[in-house]
Structure 1
Amino acid sequence: MKFATKAIHAGVEPDPSTGAIMTPIFQTSTFAQPAVGQNKGFEYARSSNPTRQALEKSFAALENAKHGFAFSSGMAATDTIMKLLKPNDEVICGQDIYGGSYRLFVKVYEEIGIKFHFIDMQNEEIVKNTINSNSKMIWIETPSNPLLQIVDIEKIIKIAKENNLISVVDNTFATPYLQNPITMGADIAMHSATKYLGGHSDVVMGALMLNNDELAEKIYFIQKSCGAVPSPFDCFLMLRGIKTLPLRVDASCKNAIKIADFLVSHEKVENVYYAGLTTHKGHNIAQKQMRQFGGMISFDLKQDTQANAYKFLENINVFALAESLGGVESLACYPAMMTHASIPIEKRHEIGITDSLVRLSIGCEDVDDLIEDLEQALMKITFQKI
């Protein structure tokens, strides 16, 4: 199946009892068994549920994977991956990653003896030089959050395989529609499905997709044992959202490139981070491994102050000031005080998360309305004379 067909049909079959086109919401916590040790494929809803099973088949198909797993949030999916590790193991990951991942790694897993190296993942030599005998995993996030850095997935995965490391790709920003890490050789693809996969800002969920049977068995054991699973109703909403994923992402990408061009030429904007721009450091790599450049854009103001960022964000109207991303509606976020507040200010500045950085999630509205909204909000900023 081509992607648009998979998005609509993979994992979803008409209900055999009624012919219902949509997978029913099996809102039950347990399942009657004909006899001890016998069941109809389901025992207890934490272990499995027919609605979740359909979704997990869909997840797997989207990433061209053999196994798919659904979790109660993107962080629950990330946490499950970390539970594959043991004290004294080490993980190599990008210095520019989602703040929630950074917080989990540093505040939870470093406390129990797992070490994390936050490096420039765009530099292969730095990656190679960071690996040691305790290294067990490489965590790739591309495009990265919030600076939209592009990591060459195939090259980093080659390094991982040469050193017998588990390779994980957070594919949330790109979506399976634009980029497929499993096809490029990654061991695990991770998604905050809350974002583009759901697409309507009405469900929180995480997803893992992979081919390796042994890893899949371990992940299922953790999923079942720890219980961070989504409800049947949330699974139904996610199945509904996935059906329009290609349409929504196409619209976001089309809008994003026009908005990036607008921001580049604006007198009050300093840096625009969007891989679709030929001036972006990772443009050629993104062109190689992505089908389009995505719907996420970040930018700095020419006068880099928190006050200027606040002034801009106070005056947007069509864009909503909110965390999260990937929905049909456009959102604006202030990483320094929202998504990446858990990262110390010195570290934020060191990696390029400035006091005026704004992250935009471009939705499916009319692009002229979005540009007009950005323009009027930018014009409300009055730069101080220096």
Structure 2
Amino acid sequence: MDVLISGASIAGPALAYWLGRHGFRPAIVEVAPALRTGGNAVDFRGPLHMGVLDKMGVLPALRAVQTGGNAMRFVDADGRKLMEWPAGLAGGDLEVQRGSLARILCAAGDNTEYLFGDRIAALAEDAGGVDVTFASGLERRFDLVIGADGVHSGVRRLAFGPEEQFVKHLGYYVAGWDVPNEWGIGKDSLLHNLPGRMLSIGGNQHDPSRAGAFAVFRSPALRYDRHDRAEMQGILRDRFAGMGWLAPRLLDGLDGASDFYFDQICRVDNPSWTRGRVALVGDAACGATIGGQGNGTAIVSAYVLAGELAAAGGDHRVAFPAYEKRIGKFARGTQKGGDTTGMFLAPKTERGIRVRNYLNNRKWFLDLTFKIAADRSTKMELPDYAGRVAGISG
């Protein structure tokens, strides 16, 4: 069976790996001209996340490029520490740069066809398959189409409806970009707050000459062009004007940044992740921009979706409902962690900042926070599909 996957970040390559292992013919279309490099650090937690990575055989490669986790040290305008999250809590069991993760996952699925610099423009499904028209004009037919293309999924828009039906703004925006490390900062992160705003700087473990800036600010939903970098950078400059601390130098680095990210902190609420021969996986199905363990959930969801398709002999009418039933409660549970991320990083009042710092300076509170995160990442038994795989027909 020919399966088209949209998106070459995390869920897409992981799904392609497992589909290839089960005898499917996966192809990935990615709008970027090549695999994206850089990006923020992402982490995996607990035996469920680590178990899937181990089954994929990618743990040695990931451990070779792991960042080791970064302590998050909140400081005042003079650099004095107010509160700190230790590296073990912030970075989970394994932390790597997003670009390194995507590269390793793509290399693992060596029987996957890649279509870079293109995207799905139209889908036409009939009883036997899906006719796909690409933005380039290419037309091809596939047995199944999977959206692994993030919270702003094009596949979801084409097959399920407009984005505003499924994506809920959670009151904050987040941005990240690289800057020269003129301060000699190590791998740990320094974070500074004003009410409703947070700006941080962290070293790059693999390139000490570079550092990563990270920003969060509170705001109602904004209207802007997600493909207009200058407009998004203008929003950042406006929101962080007059902040003090390192803000002027970090904002000056926007123009020369080789890697830039800007988006709302949001949650994807999609009642169903499948429709006909189309399914969603990862952030396209149940994304949370930050704090919802989306990367680990994407890895686990990809494993389950491919496994259920294999167990059903490729019959999506059986596999898709089984996939949603097995993964739905777990994925939506981990997703909830993202609901409070903005409020934690950038409390809206001075009092909120003081209360956050006070609580997070208490060991009992950190232990409780870690336990909640660990519980969310383990509330599912990892199925074994080795003995359940049926014959696959096109």
- The reply to whether TM is greater than 0.5 is no
TM-score of the superposition, structure 1-length normalised? 0.26
The structure richer in strand per residue is 2
TM-score of the superposition, structure 2-length normalised? 0.26
